């Protein structure tokens, strides 16, 4: 296994140990917004990952969810979500993960997503494919949206913003076989890569939510774009990921305005 892949796996697994240690126990919860949480576990996981990266790659930039990020435009950047699915974690619902990706000069090189409760490890390297617990994975072969299982999520300003994804949800719910909304974009993207979901879309996400998952889907043979079908920019806030076969139809629905 490539050394950089081993390293990113080490990062997510060390974070996973912390998550597992405190899971379904009392955690300290702070509110970043009405429904946007951060816990002491988020912060401990973040500190652990950053310490690992800084000890090995001291000149690299680090972009992480739970801190004030000051970037130096270094050649290489690590993109971290220490606990994706914090609300789930705080409620004892076992659908959460750590997501870590490495980007060099704008290209995603490696990424890993790890759920320590299910012991599910997804990882990918550019040009080398995507893997789940050591086995190569591919996107699904579903070509008809009517029998497709999709996933999505809603932004934290759901109650106050008209751009809240409910309109898209209503369009898809009548066209797809089913839709799941389970609170972790990183895992949703990993599931698209593994063929569990056939498609995923969401708005108002951040780079740490989608960086590793984007690489996983691409390396598993899928397609990741914005709502207009343009190549994905993880620093913008629209994402559509699919097996490629239902992508055009998903794009059409997202722009239908019905």
> Which phi and psi angles does 160 have, rounded to 5°?
-115, -10
Domain ranges within the chain, ordered by starting residue: 3-137, 145-254
pLDDT value of residue 29: 87
* DSSP letter (8 states) at residue 231: B
pLDDT value of residue 79: 97
Report d(CA 101, CA 217) in Å as an integer: 13
Least Cα distance to 98 among 237, 224, 211, 222 occurs for: 211
pLDDT value of residue 214: 98
Report d(CA 70, CA 85) in Å as an integer: 24
Average pLDDT over residues 237-254: 98
Query: What percent of the chain shows pLDDT beyond 90?
Result: 87
Report d(CA 98, CA 86) in Å as an integer: 10
For domain 145-254, the question of CATH label 3.40.190.80 is answered with yes
Those residues whose C-beta lies under 8 Å from the C-beta of residue 189, and which sit 6 or more positions away, are 113, 200, 210, 212, 213, 214, 216, 217, 241
Residue 258 pLDDT class (50, 70, 90 cuts):
low
Cβ-defined contacts of 76-79 (< 8 Å, 24+): 76/102, 76/103, 76/104, 76/105, 77/102, 77/103, 77/104, 78/53, 78/102, 78/103, 79/103, 79/207, 79/208, 79/211, 79/212, 79/234
Residue 153 pLDDT class (50, 70, 90 cuts):
very high
Instruction: Report pLDDT digits (tens) over 2-42.
Output: 999 999 999 999 999 999 999 999 788 888 767 677 899 99
Average pLDDT over residues 37-63: 95
Average pLDDT over residues 196-206: 98
What is the token pair recorded at 236? Answer: 């913008």
Residue 188, pLDDT > 60, answer yes
Report d(CA 190, CA 112) in Å as an integer: 9
Q: Do the domains spanning 3-137 and 145-254 agree at the CATH topology level? A: no
Instruction: Report pLDDT digits (tens) over 83-120.
Output: 999 999 999 999 999 999 999 999 999 999 999 999 99
Residue 67 pLDDT class (50, 70, 90 cuts):
confident
What CATH number belongs to 3-137? 3.30.540.10
3-class DSSP assignment, residue 159: coil
Would you say 15 and 98 are in contact if contact means Cβ atoms under 8 Å apart?
yes
Average pLDDT over residues 113-133: 98
What is the token pair recorded at 69? Answer: 């990020």
Q: Which of residues 31 and 247 earns the better pLDDT score?
A: 247
Which pTM was predicted?
0.96
Burial status of residue 56 (CB atoms within 10 A of its CB: 0-12, 13-18, 19 or more): exposed
């Amino acid at each position: 296994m490539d050394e950089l892949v081993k390293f990113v796996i080490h990062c997510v697994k060390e974070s996973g140990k912390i998550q597992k240690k405190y899971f379904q126990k009392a955690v300290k919860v702070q509110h970043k917004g009405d429904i946007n949480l951060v816990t002491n576990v988020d912060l401990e996981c973040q500190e652990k990952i950053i310490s690992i990266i800084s000890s090995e790659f001291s000149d690299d930039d680090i972009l992480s969810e739970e801190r004030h990020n000051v970037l130096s435009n270094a050649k290489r950047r690590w993109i971290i979500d220490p606990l994706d699915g914090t609300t789930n974690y705080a409620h004892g619902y076992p659908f959460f993960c750590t997501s870590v990706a490495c980007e060099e000069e704008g290209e995603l090189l490696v990424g890993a997503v790890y759920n320590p409760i299910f012991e599910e490890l997804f990882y990918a390297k550019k040009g080398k494919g995507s893997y789940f617990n050591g086995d190569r994975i591919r996107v699904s072969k579903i070509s008809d949206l009517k029998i497709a299982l999709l996933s999505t999520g809603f932004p934290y300003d759901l109650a106050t913003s008209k751009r809240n994804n409910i309109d898209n949800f209503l369009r898809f719910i009548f066209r797809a076989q089913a839709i799941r909304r389970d609170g972790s974009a990183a895992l949703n993207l990993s599931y698209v890569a593994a063929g569990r979901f056939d498609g995923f879309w969401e708005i108002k996400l951040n780079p740490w939510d989608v960086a590793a998952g984007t690489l996983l889907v691409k390396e598993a043979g899928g397609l990741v774009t914005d709502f207009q079908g343009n190549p994905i920019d993880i620093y913008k806030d629209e994402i559509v990921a699919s097996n490629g076969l239902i992508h055009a139809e998903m794009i059409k629905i997202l722009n239908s305005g019905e």
